Amino acid sequence: SINIILTFVTLLFIELIFGIFFITRPNPSISLIFKPFTSYEKINFLSRIEHFDYETNKYKPGLYKTENFEYQINRDGFRGPEINQNDLKTKCIGIAYGGSTTLGLESIYEKTYPKLLENLLNKSGKNCRILNAGVSGKSLKYIFNRIINEVDKFNPEFITIYNNRNSAVYDATTEKIKSDIINDSLNLRLFKIRFFLENNIMTYKFMKKIFLKLNEREYGTPHPLDPRRKINIDYFENGYLNLLEQIYNFVETKKIKLVIIKQIFYVDPIIQKRISLNNISKNIELLEKYHKFDLEKNVIKEISELQKIENYSMITNIILNQQLDRIKKKYSNIIIVDKINDFYKYKSSQMTYDGLHLKEKGNIKIAQGVYEAL
């Protein structure tokens, strides 16, 4: 009994050390031992403060403020008004998953593409409610976990996913993602356990970071935002596609339609149009040398830090959009919404605030694309 107690106290002390380490970082993570005192992460952005609740794995309900307006997170963790439980029984439900572009931080609720889509469907005689599940900075891996734990409660007829930029930034240093998680109950259970440990046990989180960093030595291609890290090229070749395939396999068993939207990201449309003509293998080769390659002149040379980030953004955006064409060929039931060329008919300033986050015209374009596809 004494040995067990000493072991437990030792592990608790170690977890306390790593818990303090992660809670004091710029974007803190909350250890399980601190959650009785603070169960949410307070994230500081330039124009707002967000509260992410680890108990629900969603935003904490309440009123949020930006520099220009306020927005509401309802008690179920979605942006928008409260959900009438009767609506879940009588209405066509759709869930829109994505990052800050889906959440629509630069738009009032009525001008976000999930709400605009809801309006289009209702005008055509449907009786629908689209739940806005956008969360800033969250990738496809987060969306996958949330879908697994959420769709049974809301029983949607369809879900939409608009997410590749966050995946390229945040999932690119994760371990290889297997393709059989959904089809194997043991692997699905292990995935859920790993996800829980990574978000609750900071000793595990720290050891995993060390493990991944040691494995990165074989990759060689630096991460654009943190040169100390290396990106896993396999994620762009197989990992992202594997995640999409597993999401499809999961929702297909529940008779939920999967709609995936190609993401627009204005950097240099002329270069982006040219790169998009390459096949995926050719673009993977470009990705491996993005940090030392002039895409405009098509030569290897020393480039600025800004050019590195722009190169990475352009190449990865195109590769992940191209992966959507691959999965469509394999599963004809998946709906792919491709409005990229329609966006390029307009200047970035007409459709977006910063090349990525949508203005009203951009939100309308996405909503119309999903509506027409459905």
Determine the average pLDDT of the residues in 211-233. 78
Beta-carbon count within 10 A of 322 CB: 18
Averaged pLDDT of the chain: 89
117, pLDDT greater than 80? yes
Instruction: Point out which residues pair with 93 in neighbouring strands.
Output: 129
**In this structure, what token pair is assigned to residue 156?**
């949607």
Report how far residue 140's alpha carbon sits from residue 97's, in angstroms, rounded to the nearest whole number. 9
Instruction: Point out which residues pair with 173 in neighbouring strands.
Output: none
% residues pLDDT > 70 (the chain): 92
Residue in the block written with tokens 């998680």: 181
Determine the average pLDDT of the residues in 87-100. 93
DSSP string, 359-373: -HHHHHHHHHHHHHH
Spatial contact of 292 and 301, defined as CB atoms under 8 Å apart: yes
Determine the average pLDDT of the residues in 104-117. 93
Determine the average pLDDT of the residues in 165-175. 86
Of the two residues 98 and 20, the one the predictor is more confident about is 98
CB proximity list for 67: less than 8 A, separation 6 or greater? 47, 48
Spatial contact of 355 and 317, defined as CB atoms under 8 Å apart: no
What torsion, rounded to 10 degrees, do the Cα atoms 239, 242, 247, 251 define? 180
What pLDDT is recorded for position 35? 74
Q: Which one-letter DSSP state was computed for residue 303?
A: -
What torsion, rounded to 10 degrees, do the Cα atoms 240, 243, 247, 252 define? 90
Spatial contact of 50 and 64, defined as CB atoms under 8 Å apart: yes
What pLDDT is recorded for position 46? 55
106, pLDDT greater than 90? no
Determine the average pLDDT of the residues in 280-309. 94
The C-alpha R_g of the chain, in whole angstroms, comes to: 21
Helices (H), the chain: 2-23, 87-90, 100-103, 113-123, 140-154, 165-170, 185-200, 202-215, 233-234, 240-253, 269-275, 280-288, 305-330, 340-343, 348-351, 360-373
The pTM of the full predicted model, rounded to 2 decimals, is 0.86
Q: Which one-letter DSSP state was computed for residue 33?
A: T
Q: What per-residue string of b and e applies to 162-172 under the rule 16 or more CB within 10 Å gives b?
A: bbbbbbbbbbb
Report how far residue 157's alpha carbon sits from residue 159's, in angstroms, rounded to the nearest whole number. 7
Spatial contact of 167 and 240, defined as CB atoms under 8 Å apart: yes
% residues pLDDT > 90 (the chain): 59
What's the pLDDT band for 217 if we cut at 50, 70, 90?
low
**In this structure, what token pair is assigned to residue 217?**
């030595």
Of the two residues 75 and 180, the one the predictor is more confident about is 75
Half-sphere exposure at residue 83, Cβ-oriented, CA atoms within 13 angstroms: 26
Determine the average pLDDT of the residues in 146-173. 92
With 0-12 / 13-18 / 19 or more C-beta atoms within 10 angstroms meaning exposed / middle / buried, residue 85 is: exposed
278, pLDDT greater than 60? yes
Least-confidence region, from 48-62, 90-104, 125-139, 181-195:
181-195
DSSP string, 73-99: E-TTS-BSSPPPTTHHHHSEEEEEEES
The CA distances from residue 71 to 50, 66, 110, in Å, are 11, 8, 11
What pLDDT is recorded for position 177? 63
Q: Is 26 helix (H, G, I), strand (E, B) or coil?
A: coil
Of the two residues 172 and 117, the one the predictor is more confident about is 117
pLDDT tens profile 333-346: 999 999 999 999 99
Polymer length in residues for the chain: 374
What pLDDT is recorded for position 370? 98
As a whole number of Å, the end-to-end CA separation of the chain is: 62
Q: Which one-letter DSSP state was computed for residue 267?
A: S
**In this structure, what token pair is assigned to residue 309?**
């980030």
Half-sphere exposure at residue 206, Cβ-oriented, CA atoms within 13 angstroms: 17
